Amino acid sequence: MAESKGAAKGCVLGCAGLGLLVVVGFFGLWAYFRFFVSAEEKQRFAQQRASERRQAKQAADQAIKRLQAARENLPRLTESSGHSACPAPVRMAAALVTSAAELSQFTGAGVVPDAHLSHMPDRAPEVQALVESRVLSTEGASWSAADLTQAAQKVLGAPHLIVYVPLRYRAPETAANNTFKGGLFDGFLVVLDGPSGRPLCHARFQAANSDRVEGGIGVKVGGIKVAAPSMQARLEEDFRQDFLRSSQTALAGISPRN
Q: What DSSP string describes 190-223?
A: EEEETTT--EEEEEEEEEE--S--PPP--EEETT
Q: Is 188 in contact with 207 (CB distance < 8 Å)?
A: no
Q: Are strands 180-181 and 219-221 parallel, antiparallel or unpaired?
A: unpaired
Residue 144 structural domain: 52-254
Task: State pLDDT tens for residues 94-152.
Answer: 998 888 888 887 776 445 556 667 666 555 677 777 776 654 444 445 567 888 888 88
The answer as to whether 12 is a domain residue is no
Q: Is 251 in contact with 189 (CB distance < 8 Å)?
A: yes
- β-strand partners of 226: 219
The answer as to whether 14 is a domain residue is no
The answer as to whether 17 is a domain residue is no
Look at residue 114 in the predicted model and tell me its pLDDT.
Answer: 61
Q: Are strands 199-208 and 184-193 parallel, antiparallel or unpaired?
A: antiparallel
**Angle between helical axes of 38-73 and 125-134 (0-180°, round to 10):** 110
Look at residue 226 in the predicted model and tell me its pLDDT.
Answer: 37
Give dist(CA 61, CA 56) in Å, integer. 9
Give dist(CA 80, CA 77) in Å, integer. 8
Q: Quick one: the chain helix, strand, coil %, rounded to 5?
A: 50, 20, 35
The answer as to whether 249 is a domain residue is yes
The closest of 205, 155, 211, 201 to 180, measured between CA atoms, is: 211
The answer as to whether 102 is a domain residue is yes
- Residue 162 in this model has a pLDDT that exceeds 70: yes
Look at residue 179 in the predicted model and tell me its pLDDT.
Answer: 77
Spacing of C-alpha 105 from chain mean position: 15
Spacing of C-alpha 128 from chain mean position: 6
Look at residue 258 in the predicted model and tell me its pLDDT.
Answer: 66
The answer as to whether 27 is a domain residue is no
Give dist(CA 127, CA 120) in Å, integer. 14
The answer as to whether 34 is a domain residue is no
Task: State pLDDT tens for residues 202-257.
Answer: 999 999 988 887 764 333 334 443 344 688 888 888 898 999 999 999 999 999 98
Look at residue 205 in the predicted model and tell me its pLDDT.
Answer: 96
Look at residue 216 in the predicted model and tell me its pLDDT.
Answer: 45
How many other CB atoms are there within 10 angstroms of residue 141's CB atom? 16
The answer as to whether 4 is a domain residue is no
DSSP 11: H
Which of 56-65, 83-92, 117-126, 187-196 is predicted least confidently? 117-126
DSSP per residue, 63-88: HHHHHHHHHHH-----TT---B--SS
Task: Give backbone dihedrals phi and psi of 137, rounded to 5 degrees, phi first.
Answer: -75, 165
* Mean pLDDT score, 50-58: 83
| Domain count for the chain | 1
**Chain-wide mean pLDDT for the chain?**
76
